[in-house]
């Protein structure tokens, strides 16, 4: 990884929602925290015919509200110094002739070039081809690709092949913002810097693992996109499987990018394929109907703008997965994600096996119950909780559950970087550790594709669930068959 270095960051799709909500706010925070070299430039490329002045006004209006914290407290001189890094370049991304202007702008300095493609994946191939045709020096450049990378394995390979005709694999940064979260980094520290947990991180001690990413929001005006995507492609194939890899992988030989990614790949390749029976019993898809979220009435999925009236697209997925390797054989991994659920949360729960002989019964007679859990919360707040049993005050030796809670904002007073901030700075500095390699991505597609095909041809529809609930009852039944419970069902 290179230190703080001069750079040119070219942002394609610079007027889009992602650029305004995530990328430019993250770059501003990195600028504010002195993580960007003073000779770093940001070239903002989009089709809209803005002048430089109009674009900067648009950024101040559209991106500033998403800066973490109170933007009203940001010093105006600091904001203006950030805007001074920005150059707007109107460009039709399909017009190869227009790239000559970009080539001239990039030739102005000897900086590292980073190209961020915050566009539809359909534009990845023409952008890369036009960059190559414009004679821009790409030998040391980096290209950052946003998801979704394809609709299935075949389309994913087509996109990756197109990008690979211009950029080598070590120049390609496939971003998954969940890997940039502080709590995910702490998961690695928890596992590989503490002798306390490593002996327990295996099938002999772990009863099951749960990974949940729950959203209260619906499709938020993206009905056209979401109806052709669904929860499996939008969340499981990337975010949830990457989190599973971080939990289940073997210790890498080092924290070098390929050492870490090699171990994640081994986990993906060890995932047990779904049999025909498993697809019925160990996979649940749901679709929300009208209900209430935090006391506010919301419409059902099929009533959302852009969604087909008889849509079969899943807005909820729950899976019972297994990893066929020595460490995890027989341990269920439960994956769950959905929209319009009761709470916005993302967490990993590792439930340890009960003690073999209980001599101190819990209240309610739950002798031997599995009360030892490690809960790693990713959002909305970041924390690690260790749930165990302690003696209840008073006579006798009755025990009750207690939790040791490490809240990061209390334990560490220094500011914690947001996910996009960390990942963008890593891309500029050339650190690939938290980005997804092509073979990882393809292994994930291979595992989810049979289930997607089954759902596409199945006569059964997604299970309905009320907005504001925790998903269809079939999800709880799946857990019951495995002898487990979701946390809200305890």
SS3 at position 302: helix
Residue of 239, 320, 357, 454 marked active site: 239
- Helix or strand holding residue 349 (H, E): strand 345-352
**Residue 435, token pair as written in the block:** 């980005």
Q: Which residues contact 331 (CB under 8 A, 6 or more apart)?
A: 203, 206, 207, 208, 209, 322, 323
Looking up tokens 């309905």, which residue turns up?
Answer: 464
Peptide bond into 380 cis (omega under 30): yes
For 368-375, the CB contacts below 8 A with 24+ separation are 370/207, 371/401, 373/349, 374/197, 374/349, 374/350, 375/347, 375/348, 375/349, 375/350, 375/403
Annotation says 239 is catalytic = yes
- Total residue length of the chain: 490
Q: Alpha-carbon distance 233 to 245, whole Å?
A: 17
Query: What are the DSSP calls for 265-295, one per residue?
Result: HHHHHHBPPPPHHHHHHSEEEEEEESEEETT
By the 10 Å C-beta count (0-12 exposed, 13-18 middle, 19+ buried), 224 is classed as middle
Q: Alpha-carbon distance 388 to 444, whole Å?
A: 34
- Residues annotated as part of the active site: 239
């Amino acid at each position: 990884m290179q230190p703080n270095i001069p750079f040119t960051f070219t942002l394609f799709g610079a007027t889009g929602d992602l650029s305004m909500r995530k990328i430019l706010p993250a770059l501003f925070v990195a600028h504010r925290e002195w993580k960007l070299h003073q000779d770093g430039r940001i070239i903002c490329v989009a089709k809209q015919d803005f002048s430089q002045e109009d674009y900067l006004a648009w950024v101040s209006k559209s991106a500033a509200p998403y800066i973490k914290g109170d933007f009203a407290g940001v010093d105006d001189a600091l904001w203006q110094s950030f805007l001074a890094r920005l150059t707007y370049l109107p460009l039709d991304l399909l017009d190869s002739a227009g790239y000559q202007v970009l080539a001239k702008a990039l030739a102005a300095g000897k900086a590292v070039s980073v190209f961020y493609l915050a566009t539809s994946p359909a534009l990845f191939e023409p952008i890369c081809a036009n960059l190559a045709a414009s004679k821009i020096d790409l030998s040391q450049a980096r290209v950052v690709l946003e998801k979704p990378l394809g609709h299935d394995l075949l389309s994913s390979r087509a996109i990756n092949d197109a990008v690979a005709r211009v950029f080598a694999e070590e120049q390609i940064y496939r971003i998954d913002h969940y890997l940039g979260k502080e709590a995910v980094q702490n998961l690695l520290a928890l596992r590989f810097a503490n002798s306390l947990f490593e002996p327990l991180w295996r099938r002999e001690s772990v009863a099951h693992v749960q990974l949940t990413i729950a959203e209260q929001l619906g499709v938020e005006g993206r009905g056209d996109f979401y109806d052709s995507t669904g929860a499996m492609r939008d969340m499981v194939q990337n975010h949830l499987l990457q989190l599973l890899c971080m939990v289940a992988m073997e210790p890498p030989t080092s924290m070098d990018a390929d050492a870490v990614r090699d171990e994640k790949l081994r986990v993906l390749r060890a995932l047990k394929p779904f049999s025909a029976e498993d697809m019925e019993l160990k996979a649940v898809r749901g679709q929300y109907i009208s209900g209430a979220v935090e006391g506010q009435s919301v419409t059902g999925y099929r009533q959302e703008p852009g969604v087909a009236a008889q849509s079969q697209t899943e807005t909820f997925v729950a899976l019972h997965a297994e990893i066929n390797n020595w460490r995890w054989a027989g341990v269920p991994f439960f994956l769950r994600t959905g929209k319009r659920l009761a709470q916005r949360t993302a967490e990993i729960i590792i439930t340890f096996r009960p003690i073999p002989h209980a001599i101190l019964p819990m209240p309610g007679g739950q002798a031997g119950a599995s009360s030892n859990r490690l809960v790693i919360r990713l959002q909305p707040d970041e924390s690690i909780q260790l749930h165990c049993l302690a003696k209840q005050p008073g006579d006798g030796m009755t025990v009750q559950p207690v939790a040791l809670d490490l809240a990061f904002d209390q334990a560490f007073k220094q500011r914690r970087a947001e996910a996009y901030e960390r990942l963008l700075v890593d891309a500029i500095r050339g650190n690939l550790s938290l980005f997804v390699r092509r073979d990882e991505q393809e292994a994930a597609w291979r595992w989810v594709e049979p289930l997607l095909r089954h759902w596409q041809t199945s006569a059964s529809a997604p299970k309905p669930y009320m907005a504001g609930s925790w998903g269809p009852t079939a999800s709880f039944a799946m857990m019951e068959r495995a002898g487990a419970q979701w946390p809200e069902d305890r």
